[in-house]
Each structure stands twice: as structure tokens, then as C-alpha cells.
Structure 1
Amino acid sequence: MVQVRYTRNLFLRGICVIYLFAFLSFYIQIPGLYGDNGVLPARTQLEHKDWTTLLQKLKQKPTFLWFAPYLGLNIEYMLDVVSLIGIILSFAGFVSQKFCIMPVFGILWALYFSLYQIGQVFMWYQWDTLLLEAGFLCNIIAPFWYPSQKKLSTPSDAISFWTVRWLLFRLMFSSGVVKLTSGCPVWWSLDALSIHFESQCIPTSLAWYAHRLPSWFLRLTTVGVNILELVIPFLFFFPNKKVRTVAFYSQLFLQLNIIATGNYNFFNLLTICLCISLLDDTFFYKKKSKNDDLKVVNYLSTIVCILVYGGILYGTCVYYNLKITDQWTIEAKIGFTQEQFDYVLYRVIPISIYIGLTSLAFTILNAITNSLATVKGTRNKIITTFITLLYSTIVTFIFAMSVVPNANLHPSHNSTIPVPIKQVYTKIDQFHLVNGYGLFRKMTGVKGRPEVIIEGSNDIEGPWKEYEFLYKPGNVNNSLPIVAPHQPRLDWQMWFAALGNYNQNPWLMSLAYRLLNGQPEVLALMNTVESPFKNKPPKFIRASLYHYHYTLKSQTNTWWTREKIGEYFPVFSSDTTSLIEYLTKIKVIQGKPAQKTTYEAFKFVLDSLRTLTSKVEASLLAWSIFTAGCTLILTRFSNAANKKK
């Protein structure tokens, strides 16, 4: 039986690290985003005249925040409590395997889901739902309790851990599919990466250098991205272990390159955790064998691996017309039409489901066989087989639900899904246990990177002075930051806002109002050091749309050049009637005072923690806590080694 106990434990501790980063990042931004004086106060999501009893409230919006009055806290402080519990539990799971158990992961999922319920537009990201889905899977992957002694894998471990591999497949394959089904001409012309490094949300300094790579190389890299997302995922279920290991390294390579050039918070780290499902314990503990038969099998396995990837390389050369030019560059051009791709996708989606179903069936069959063959004692056989069948049923249900978003990658397959499966999926969809994915559907910023620049003034005629954000491009002289694993959600949403207009982003009106009133909680999310209005808020505020482009660093000390496109939203003042009426309508401005905190001792502790953490930059705080966890782990290992001596 293939052992996955160590691999599984590594995955679970990795998810704890992701939870740690996610909860910590959220906690830092609570006052400015969701506090009573924040951009989108959380209390507005929990006020409904028809919700009277606690049971009704939990049914309509399941979140721990409803328990705030029972603890003598208001909603803002309850957000602190939920986040801090998440931080403590995830840190405990990171530093000790004893906390990587089902009850802990159940609580972590419930805590993050509670935050997601009131997150509104600032949490409508695929990595948040991906964390919810991966976190839910941990509830069936993790043991119910930490065993007193180290055990080998049980047959059900392979079944539950298989769900992570299937999630990884759906994530990567759908991300590749949507790039071409969107019809985006930039993806079809293979020029996407010539734009991406400049137009992505928060690029790193390396993105500037990546943008300057030769165009032929960037086009070839775009081909590589297509292959890594469209073709390689099918090898996740290949029976040859070496083929899967190479697939693991290829996906790891892709994620590390994304991390190097862009700040995508915990998303790429989470994807790397999912990639662990392609491995088993022999990857970490390789056993040398003198058996000649095993050596022959190993050589044959290597040959199969070479043939598989050689075939993919050959197919890539054919379907992307790869040719070496006289200048020793590689020319690339997609050799198929959108109609041909649509036809192939129509055929491939059912095949992908059959592949997943076949892989799951063999995994279950192998687990049941091992339950009967390797477990000693009739009583143990019965118990182990029952548990294996139970996990098989749960995983089969999850697989059936995942067929819905997977089939929706092509519109013609939506009608082929059995009605009962659709009905069940609709009922559980609100919990994000199974989700659809698809990143970078269309490449933005073809004519330049759009940016919304907010300006304030004490005179409607000017001069107008700019507000600066902590991380997103604004001042053309500011260097490009490294932010991950922290996600500055306001900066991210400003990037999305620039792709539309302010009518499509009504939260901007709340942001403008908070800036007009000099709200310190909101200003803390921005660059207050260089703010022209840190002592007194402006009387008027407006926003303009700019297009940014990278500069040639050899010619100037700036990182960007920019040109003004036009007005984004008009001039507002703190007493603009239309602004006040709108914010009153969406309950950002309320006549009644916010709920008071009656538990003063608890409030004092929470305020002290908030004051302490606010003095450290967010990403630095995240890595500092992670480093502290690593230090604790190494110290424990060192002490254990010394005891053995």
C-alpha cells in the first residue's frame, strides 16, 4: 500500500500556514474595511428587521458574529475575536502536528466562513473561496484525533487525500480553459505576458525586468503557461509515479515564477500546498533496493516518463507552430482556431470527468482491497473496511458535486448534468464547498495600466493633491513592493475599480466620504506618512483615471510614466446631498449609534493587541510570525534529537 501519511501531514501543516496568513492579513485591515467607521461596516450585513431570533439569523447568514452581544462586544470587536482565534489555532497547527486534527480544521473553516459572510466586495476573490474549499477538504483528510503513536497510512487516507488532487486539477485546468474560451485576442495572439507584468494588480520589482524580456521569449513563455494549465493537469492522474513527480515540479516552477513577479497574497502558496497531493511518502523517504527486477521497473518507468513528456513537447511544437528562426529565436503561433478549440473542449470535458471518476474508483478499490488484505484480525478488518466505505461515500459525493462547475466550462454540458445533482449543488453552493475557478480570463491594460488616482483640495479650483496608497502604483517614483502573503484588500479593489466606472463600484463613495471626514481607521490603510491631509481632511475630493506604463530604468529614476485619461468620479464634499443620501440608503451612515461594548476588560485586551500590531508593517508582521513558528519547530526537533543522544 502506498503511504501518504507524511505527505498528508505536510499538506495539513501547509494549510495551517495559509490560514495563518489569511486570518492575520484580515485582522490587520478590520478597522478600516469593516469597522463602524470603515469603508463597508460589517454591522450593515447583520441588520435585518425580519431576523429576530438567533436561529433565524444563523440560517440567513451563518456567522459567529451573531454571538457578539452575548460576549458584551460590538461587531467590530467580534471580528477581532474571530480573527485572533483563527490566528492562534492555525499557528498551533503550524508548529505542532497535534493540532492538525479534524475539530481544529472544522473550527478554522467556520471562522473563515464567518468572515467571508460579511466580507462583501473585499472578499469576492477566488483565493478566498479556494481556501474555503481546501479547508473543508481538510476536515475529511485530517485524523479525528492525534494518534498517541506514529502509524502507517490507513486505507482511507489515500481516498480522502485524492480530493486535493482533484481540486488541483479543476483549479489549473479551468484557469487554462477560460483564457482561450474568453476569446481574448491577447491570449490568442500569445502576447499576454508582454502586457501582464505591467498590468497585474501589485507587481514586484522583478516584474519590471520580466516585462523587458524579449518578446519572442515572452510569447514562448505564454505557450508554456497554456501547456502547464491545459495539458499537464491530466498527468496528475497518470499511473506512473515519475510522470506525476515531473508534473509536480512543473507546477511548482510556475507558482514560484508568479510569486517572484506578482503579489498574489497566499494564493500561490495555497496552490503549492495542493501540489503536494501529487506526491507520496516515497518522495521524502526513498528506499534503496538491490532487487534487479525493481531496477528494471525503475528504468521502464523513466522511459515512460520521457516518452510522455517528449510527446507533449512534440505536440506543443505542432499545435503552436514552434520554429527556430535565423536569429536563433523561437517563433510561436497558435495553430488552431477558436472553433477547433471549442470542439476539442466539448469532447475533453467529459473525458476529464471520466478520468477523475476512473482514478477515484481505482483508489477506492485499492483501499478496500488493502482493508481486507493487510489489516490483521477480523474485528479490525470490519472496522477498517467500514471506515474506508464511509470515506468512499463522502468523497464520491464531493466528486459528484464538483462535476457541476467542471461541466460548466462548456455551455453545452450544463444540460447534461443530472437534475438531482444540480439541486443539491444549488443548496450547498452558499457554503463554497465546491467552486468554479478561472483566473486571468481576459488580459487587461492593453493600452496601459489603468489606475484611479484620488485627489483632495481645500478649494474647488485647486491645487489638488494626491492620496497615496501603501502598495498599489501611484507616485511614479515609488519602488515596486513585495507584499505577499499579505493582501491589501483596498489596494486590490482599487485595481478592479479602475477597470470599470464608479457607478459599478459604489463602495468608492464610502471611501470618499471617510477621507472627507479624515477617518483615521481608513487612512491607516493608506500612506499616511506622505499624505498631504494627515492633519486635517480636505473640503473636496475627486478621482481621475490614468494610464501607467513602465519606464526604461536606464534612462530615468522613475518606475512609471503616466498619462491622464479623464475624470473618474466628480468633485464631492462632505455635505454633498447625493453622496449623503446614497450612503444613508446603504446604511454606511446611520442615525442610530453603533452598539457599545460592555465587557471593558475584554475591550482593553483587544485594543492593546490592535495598538501593538498596528506598529508593524503587515507583510513584515506575517513573515515575522511565520519565522517564529519555524524557530519553535526547529527548537523542538533539536531538543528531541538531544534527548535521543
Structure 2
Amino acid sequence: MTQVRYTRNLFLRGICIIYLFAFLSFYIQIPGLYGDNGILPARTQVDLKARATLLNKLKQKPTLLWFAPYLGLNVEYMLDVLSLLGAVLSFIGFVTQTFCIAPVFAGLWSLYFSLYQIGQTFIWFQWDSLLLETGFLCIFIAPFWYPRRAKRSSTPSDGVTFWTIRWLLFRLMFASGVVKLSSRCPVWWKLDALNIHFESQCIPTPLAWYAHHLPTWFLRLSTVFTYVIEIAIPLLFFFPNRKVRLIAFYSQLFLQICIIATGNYAFFNFLTICLCISLLDDQFFYKQRSQKNASHILNHLSTLISILVYGGILYGAYIYFGLKITDDFTIKSNIAFTQEEFDFVIQRAVPISIYVGAVSLVFTIADSLTNSMLTKGMYNKITTALITVSYIVPVLFIFVISLVPHYTSLVPVTNSTVIAQIKQVQDKVEHLRLVNSYGLFRRMTGTDGRPEVIIEGSNDIDGPWKDYEFLYKAGNVNNSLPFVAPHQPRLDWQMWFAALGTYHQNPFVMSLAYRLLNGQSEVLDLINTVESPFKNKPPKYIKASIYHYHYTPWSQTSSTRAWWTREKVGEYFPIFSKDHQPLIEYLTKLKILQEKPGFKIKAEPLKLILDKLRWSVCNVEASLLLWGVFTAGCTLIVAGYYDRPVAKKK
């Protein structure tokens, strides 16, 4: 049996790190996003004064926030409690393997799911759903407890439960590649996506500016290899040859590192790297040496198979993307197949991928059951077999319901082939985010320049108008591009999406404008108040305009320090004042503004403690706080304070 005990433990600790980043990042932004005076108050999602029973409230919206009255807190402070509790549990799981157990992961999932329930538009990102799905699987992957003298070998059920992560990784990567072409976006089909992507993405890093100015032929070739890594190589995740899977691991790792270097995508890429650990086994970390000639022969044969497999993939890329070396030693590339041909292949490839996954799962189950019967003693055989079966049942259930989003996101025309009963079951559990559909960058935006909403304030309706500066999103053309991941500034992110539509499609923008007009300190903490012209007194009027941003050309780097150039396109929303009646009525209708008082806080000592904690945190830049806590955890691990072997008594 392939040993995955160490690999599994490493994965679980990695997920604890991701949870730690997610909870801390969320906690920092609670007052401005979800506080009573925030942009989208959380109390609009849970009415603590409702007379319904607790059970009915949980059925209506399953979140632990309903327990706030039992602690004497309101919704905002209960959000603090849930976030801090999640951060503490994940930090402990990070620094000590002893707490990487199923009950802890059940708690982490429940806490993050509770936050997700009231997060509204600020938390509806694919990585939030991915974390919930991964976290739920961890409940089955993690042991219920770690014995004091834990066995070094894997248990038969480890292979089955850990397999679910590989299946999730496959669905994530394969879908991310397929949707780029199935969307029929002309930019992706012309291989020009990366010529736009580094400039148009939400929050680019400084390296994105340099990547944008790479030669066009190189960016087109990089797009080709993105397709290869995301579409072709994921099909090898279940290949029986270990070296083939290792190369697949390195290719995925390389892609994620490149994305981290050029874009701030919160904890998404770090979480994907954790999922890639499922392609490894314990032998990757503890190589076993053997002097037997047969082992050397098998090793050379494995290498030959890997060369043939990946040689075939590269040859396929050469044929289907028309790769040619030109006279000036550049590589020319063009897609050499039609959209109809691609759709024809995908309609058959998706069912085949499911069959491959099913066969891999069957072999994994058979291996686990066989090994459970190899344990010594009849009692141990029966017990181990029953435990293994108890894990196999939920794994099969998860695999079956995952077929629904896998089909619907990739080949909608084949939805009729999915058994109706499976759809019904998946619909009943869909709100729990147990399985999800994925596929980022379905269509490339910003082909004419990245649109940005620039909010302006003034004390005179005729001007002058002065810009509000955000902490991370593009605004002042001279502001440096940031490294902010794994923290996700959710307001900055959502402003990027708002620029792709209208303010009518993004009600939170109206709430943001009203809070700025009233100088709400909680919301001001989410933007750059240091450079704000209204940090001491809010403006009387506010409006927003749409600008198109472009990176400064490479040729101007010596003459300007600006990262961007911009041009005004038009109005985003008209001039508002804080007593603008239609604005007030609109926000009142959305229950963002409420006349009735909120739930009265009774636990004053606990409130005081939470206030002091927040005061100490708000003085530290968010990304520095996250990396600082991570560094503290690494220091504890290296120092050996936790997980230190207990000395035997003489």
C-alpha cells in the first residue's frame, strides 16, 4: 500500500495555514464591511430579535451567529468571536499536528461557513467556495485523534479519503482550462489573453508590470503552456505511474508560483498548492533506497514512460497550437483547431475523465479493503474493514454529487445524461457548498484598458473634485503596485467587479458612497485615509467616474515614475449628498439603513476585550499581520516548542 500518512499530515497543516489567512483577513475587515455602520451590515441577514425558535432560525440560515444572544453580543461582535475562534483553532492546528483532527476541522468548516452565510457579495468568490469544499473533505481525511504513540504507516482508509483531494484538484484545474476556450472568448482563442491579463487583473503585483512588457511571442507561448498545464496535464493526475504524477505536480506548482508572483489572488493559489500535495506520497519526502537490480530496471522503465507521456503532450501542443520557430529565433503560435472541433472533443473528454476518476477510485477502494484484511488478528481485520467502509460510503457520495457541477460547468448540453436523482440530491445540499463548479477567467475583460471606478468628493457642487484613494486598487497613477496576498481586501476586489457593470447592479457602491458622505470611520479604515483629502471632515458631495487605465509604456520608464496612464470615459454614478432623499430611500429599502436599534450588548466585559484586541490589530497593515502570525507559527515549529517528544520515565 502506498504510504500517505506524512503527506496527509502535511496537507492538513497546510489547510490550517489557509484557514488562518482566511479568518484573519476576514476579521480585519468586519467593522467596515459588516458592522452596524458598515457597507453591508450583517444584522440585515440575521434578526436576533425574531421570535422563531433557534432550530427554525438555523433552518432559515445555518450560521453560528444565532448564538450571539446567548453570549450577550450583537451580530458584529459575534462575527469577531467566530473569526478569532477560527484563527486560534487554525493556528493551533498549524503549529502542532496533534490538533489536526476531525473535530477541529469540523469546527473550522462550521465557523467559515457561518461567515460565508452573511458575507453577501464580498465573500462570493470561488476560493471561498473552494475552501469550504476542501475544509469539508478534511473532516474525513483527518483522524479523530492522534494516539500518543502514533503509527508511522498509513491506515487503509487514508488512501480513499485523500483521493478526494486529487479529484477536487482535477476538477478545479481542468475546468479552469476548459472554460477559457468553451466560452468562445476571442482573446483566449487568439492567444492574446496574457497580453491583457497582467494589466486588467484585479490587483496586480509590481512584477505584473514587467510581465506585461515581455515580448508578444513569449506571452502567446505562455498562453499555450497555460492550456497544456490546465487541460492536458490534469488528465494525468490519476495515471498509475508515479513519476508522471510527480511531473504533473511540479507543473502545477510552477503555474501557481507564477500567478502568485504577478497577481494578488488572496489565499487561492496557496490553497491550490496545498491541493497539489495530493499528487505526492510519503516516498517523495522519505526516499527508499534499494540495491535490487529489479528496482533499478523498474525505475528506468518508469522514467521512459514519463518521457513518452510528456513527449506526446508536447508533440500534441506542437501540432494543435501550430508552434514554429521563426527566422529571428522566436516561436510562432496559433490555435490550429476550430471551436466546433474543440466542443466535439470536450463533449467526449468530460465523460471519459469521469470514467477515469471512477476507475481510479474503484482501484483505490479495492486496495484499501485488501489492506484492511491484511491486518493481524480477526478482530483487527473486522474493525479495520468496518472503519474503511464507513469512510468509503461518504467518499462515494461526494464523488457522485460532484458529477453535477462538473458536467454543468463544462458541457451544459450533456446535462440530460446526469441521472435526475443525482441532481435532486445535489440540489438539496447545494447550499452547504460541499461540491462546486469552478473556472476562473472565463472571459477576458479590459481589452480597451482596465476600467476603474474613481470616487470623488467636493465641498462645492461645481468643484474642485478630489479623488478618494483606496489601499490597493488602481487609483493614483504614481502609487506603487502592491504585494498583498494572502490577504484579500474585499472592498478593493469588489470595486473591480463594480467597474465591469453599473452602480444599479452593485448596490454596495451606493452604501459606500453614503458612508463616505457621513465620514464613517469603520469604512474609512478600508481605504487610504493617509492620503485622503477628507480624512478630517467628509465632503458635502460625492460622485464617481469611470476611467480606463493602461500600464505606462516601457519606453517611458526613464522619464516618468508613474505605473499607469489613465483617461476618463464617463460618469459612473451622479452627484449625491448625504441628505439625498432617493439615496436614503434606496438604502432603507435594502435595510442597510434601519431606524430600529440593534440588539443591545449585555456582555460588557467581553465587548471590552474584543475592542482592545481590535485596537491592537488595526495598527498593523493587513498583509504584514498575516505574514507575521505565519512567521510566529513557523518559529514555534522550528523551536520545537510543540510536537516535542515526551521523555520516557525511567
State the alpha-carbon separation in 1 of the partners of residues 496 and 593 from structure 2: 25
- Distance of 1:334 and 1:240 partners within structure 2: 30
Match of 1:485 in 2: 486
In structure 2, the residue matched to 1:96 is 96
How many residues align structurally? 643
Deviation digits for residues 234-257 of structure 1 (CA, Å, limit 9, x no counterpart) = 100000000000000000000000
Counterpart of 2:225 in structure 1 is 224
1:480 Cα deviation (Å)?
0.3
Q: Which amino acid aligns with 2:253?
A: L
RMSD: 1.3
Pairwise CA distance, 1:577: 1.1
Which residue is equivalent to 2:54? 54
Unaligned runs of 5+ in 1: none
- Paired AA for residue 34 in structure 1: Y
Matches within 5 A, 1:241-640: 241-373=242-374, 375-408=375-408, 409-552=410-553, 553-636=557-640, 640=644
Q: Quote the Cα distance in structure 2 between the aligned partners of 1:342 and 1:637.
A: 56
User: Quick one: which amino acid aligns to residue 129 of structure 1?
Assistant: S
Write the deviation string for residues 145-192 of structure 1: whole angstroms up to 9, x where unpaired: 122212110010000000000000000000111101111000000000
1:116 aligned residue: 116
What code does the residue aligned with 2:471 have?
Answer: L
Query: Is the 1:252–1:272 Cα contact (8 Å) retained in structure 2?
Result: yes
Determine the structure 1 residue equivalent to 2:149.
149
Deviation of the 1:387 alpha carbon: 1.1
Amino acid in the other structure paired with 1:325 = T
Q: What is the rounded CA distance, in whole Å, between the counterparts of 2:398 and 2:565 in structure 1? A: 49
Q: Hey, what's the Cα distance between the residues in 2 that align with 1:267 and 1:608?
A: 31
User: What is the distance in 1 between the residues matched to 2:580 and 2:381?
Assistant: 74
The separation in 2 between residues aligned to 1:579 and 1:155, in whole angstroms, is 61
1:105-184 matched pairs, under 5 angstroms: 105-151=105-151, 152-184=153-185
Deviation, 1:593, is: 1.5
Q: Deviations over 1:374-397 (max 9, x none)?
A: x10000000111111121111111
1:112 alignment partner, SS class: helix
Distance in 1 between residues matched to 2:643 and 2:602, nearest whole Å = 45
Match of 1:68, SS state, is helix
Amino acid at match of 1:327: D
How far does the alpha carbon of each residue in 1:65-106 deviate from its partner, in whole angstroms, 9 at most, with x for none? 111111110100000000000000000000000110000000
User: For residue 34 of structure 2, what is the amino acid of its counterpart?
Assistant: Y
Alpha-carbon displacement from aligned partner over 1:578-619 (angstroms, at most 9, x marks no partner) = 100000001111111222211110001000000000000000
- Classify the secondary structure of the residue corresponding to 1:447: coil
Matched residue, 2:195: 194
SS of aligned partner of 2:291: coil
What amino acid does structure 2 have at the position aligned with 1:220?
Answer: L
Structure 1 residue 47, shift from structure 2 partner: 3.0
Provide the secondary structure at the position in 1 that maps to 2:237.
helix
User: Partner amino acid for 2:636?
Assistant: L
Q: Measured at CA, do residues 191 and 51 of structure 1 come closer, stay the same or move farther in structure 2, by a change above 3 Å? A: farther
What corresponds to 1:16 in structure 2? Answer: 16
Q: Name the stretch that deviates more: 215-224 or 139-148.
A: 139-148
Structure 2: how far apart are the matches of 1:637 and 1:533?
Answer: 48
Partner Cα distance (2:606, 2:388) in 1 = 45
User: What is the CA–CA distance in structure 1 between the aligned matches of 2:493 and 2:455, rounded to whole Å?
Assistant: 15
Code of the aligned partner of 1:119? G
Residues 51 and 551 of structure 1, relative CA distance in 2, 3 Å threshold: farther
Deviations 1:221-241 (A, max 9, x none): 000000111100010000000
SS of the residue corresponding to residue 359 of structure 2 reads helix
1:643 to partner: Cα distance? 7.6
Alpha-carbon distance in 1 for matches of 2:63, 2:146: 28
Structure 1: how far apart are the matches of 2:113 and 2:10? Answer: 23
Question: Structure 1, residues 394-434: CA drift from partner, whole Å, max 9, x if none?
Answer: 11110001000111111122111111111110000000000
C-alpha separation in 2, matches of 1:446 and 1:334: 20
Work out whether residues 160 and 395 of structure 1, in 8 Å CA contact, stay in contact via their aligned partners in 2.
yes
CA distance in 1, matches of 2:101, 2:51: 35
Residue 9 of structure 1: how far off its partner (Å): 0.2
Q: Which residue does the alignment assign to 1:239?
A: 240
Query: For 2:382 and 2:646, how far apart are their aligned partners in 1?
Result: 42
Say if 1:65 and 1:114, in contact at 8 Å, map to a contact too: yes
- Structure 1-normalised TM-score? 0.98
TM-score with structure 2 length normalisation?
0.98
- Aligned residue identity for 1:92: I
- Is the Cα contact below 8 Å between 2:156 and 2:388 reproduced in 1? yes
Any conservation in 2 of the 1:71–1:599 contact (CA below 8 Å)?
yes
2:17–2:94 CA contact under 8 A, matched in 1: yes
Q: 1:38 maps to what in 2?
A: 38
Offset of residue 213 of structure 1: 0.2
Structure 2 residue matching 1:562: 3-state secondary structure: strand
Deviation at 1:641, TM superposition (A): 8.8
Instruction: Give the % identical residues.
Output: 69
Q: How many Å separate the matches in 2 of 1:49 and 1:611?
A: 29
Give the match's secondary structure for 1:376.
coil
Runs (4 or more) in structure 1 with deviation over 4 Å come to: 48-51, 637-644
Q: Which amino acid aligns with 2:117?
A: Q
Contact residue 98 and residue 643 of structure 2 kept, 8 A: no
Residues 51 and 57 of structure 1 are in contact (CA less than 8 Å); yes or no, is this contact kept in structure 2? no
Secondary structure of the structure 1 residue equivalent to 2:45: helix
Secondary structure of the structure 1 residue equivalent to 2:576: strand
User: AA paired with 1:65?
Assistant: L
Shift of 1:46: 1.0
Q: Which moved more, 1:590-599 or 1:427-436?
A: 590-599
| CA distance in structure 2 between the aligned counterparts of 1:641 and 1:558, rounded to whole angstroms | 55
Match of 2:23, as an amino acid? F
Aligned-pair CA distance for 1:263 = 0.4
Q: Distance in 1 between matches of 2:616 and 2:212?
A: 39
Mapped partners of 2:559, 2:647: distance in 1: 61
Partners of 1:584 and 1:244 lie apart in 2 by: 55
Structure-2 change in CA distance of 1:245 and 1:639 (3 Å): closer
Give, in whole Å, the separation in 2 of the partners of 1:413 and 1:632: 52
* Worse-superposed segment, 591-600 or 602-611: 591-600
Contact 2:260 2:269 in 1 (8 A): yes
**How has the CA–CA distance of structure 1 residues 255 and 343 changed in structure 2, closer, same or farther, with 3 Å as cutoff?**
same
Deviation at 1:554, TM superposition (A): 3.0
1:640 Cα offset (Å): 4.8
- Assess if the C-alpha contact under 8 Å between 1:452 and 1:497 holds in 2: yes
